[in-house]
Amino acid sequence: MSAAAGRRNWIAIALAVSVALNLFLGGVVAGRIGGQAAQGVQAQRNLEAALAPLPEAKRDAVRREIRRVMPEVRRDQQAVQQARAAAAAELLRPQPDGAALDRHFREVQVRTTSMQHALQQAFKRAAADLTPEERRALIEASKRRAPRAGLPEL
């Protein structure tokens, strides 16, 4: 194989990879924009299903704790979306900057961890007022919802 033929093959492969990456990232962006409202509704349904075994007063207490952290969680969600969009834009450049990608991916990781921590602490505070039986019921309800909802089990 000549050098020119090898170069043409490499260009064809690079073009195919670029097209596939553009389609993937376009789907991610479209899913983020169009799917956010649906995800919020689904998250609320999952929460309500997990809380269903609890008495109404206890459900309200858990909801209050979660509402307390939601401004922080929303800020983190917005930052995650911005970091993902920045990473996607960087990946679409002719020569993506590895250091910039690392910064964007790190921001996604940090903000995702921050959201998890805030929600876990809210559940921890709420769990202090639940009986062992209520905590067990909450865990069991979460386990039933987790596989279908793509959620981690408690």
Predicted confidence (pLDDT) per residue in 111-127, tens digit = 999 999 999 999 899 98
Residue 20 — very low, low, confident or very high, per pLDDT cuts 50/70/90? very low
Assess whether pLDDT exceeds 80 at residue 68.
yes
Length of the chain: 154
Taking a C-beta distance cutoff of 8 angstroms, is the pair 62, 54 a contact?
A: yes
CB 141 within 8 Å of CB 152: no
Query: Cα-flanking dihedrals φ and ψ of residue 128, to 5°?
Result: -60, -25
Distance between CA atoms of residues 86 and 66, nearest Å: 29
Query: Does 27 score more than 60 pLDDT?
Result: no
Domain spans, the chain: 3-149
